[in-house]
Amino acid sequence: MPVMFKNLQERHQSRLEDTKKFFKLDTLKNLKIAYIPYNELFKEGVIAGVGWAVGVTIGFVLISSVLVLVLRKLGGLPLIGEWIASILEETQSQLLKRTPIIPQ
C-alpha cells in the first residue's frame, strides 16, 4: 500500500476513535441538557425569559429617555410633532376619499 494511502487510513482511524470516545455515555453525562429534569429546565427557561424581558424593557426606557432629552435640548420635539400631525392629516384625508362618510 502506498505511503499516502497508509497515512490517510491512519488519520481516518484516529478520527473514528475520537468520535467513538466523544459519543460514549460518560461524555454525554457531561452535557448539561442530557440529564436535567424537565421541571428544572422549564424553571431555567422562565427565569431566563423574564430576565431578558426586563433587560430589554430597561434598555428601551434608557435609550428612549436619552433620545427625548437630546431632542428637547435641540428643540426637535415640535418638529417631530408637526411631522406626525401632517402624516395623520394626510392619512385621514385619504381615508375620507376612499370611504366617504354616509349620513344616516
Q: How many domains does the chain have?
A: 1
Q: Is residue 31 part of a domain?
A: yes
- C-alpha cell, 25: 455515555
Tell me what pLDDT residue 96 has. Answer: 79
Q: Is residue 69 part of a domain?
A: no
Q: Is residue 18 part of a domain?
A: yes
Q: Is residue 88 part of a domain?
A: no
| Nearest alpha carbon to residue 61 among 73, 53, 72, 51 | 53
Q: Is residue 82 part of a domain?
A: no
Q: Which residues contact 58 (CB under 8 A, 6 or more apart)?
A: none
Q: Is residue 28 part of a domain?
A: yes
Q: Is residue 57 part of a domain?
A: no
**Which pLDDT tens digits describe the chain residue by residue (104 residues)?**
566 667 777 877 888 777 776 666 555 556 655 566 778 888 988 999 999 999 999 999 999 999 888 877 877 666 677 778 888 899 888 887 876 666 55
Q: Is residue 26 part of a domain?
A: yes
Structural domain boundaries, residue 17: 1-35
- SS3 state at 2: coil
Tell me what pLDDT residue 84 has. Answer: 82
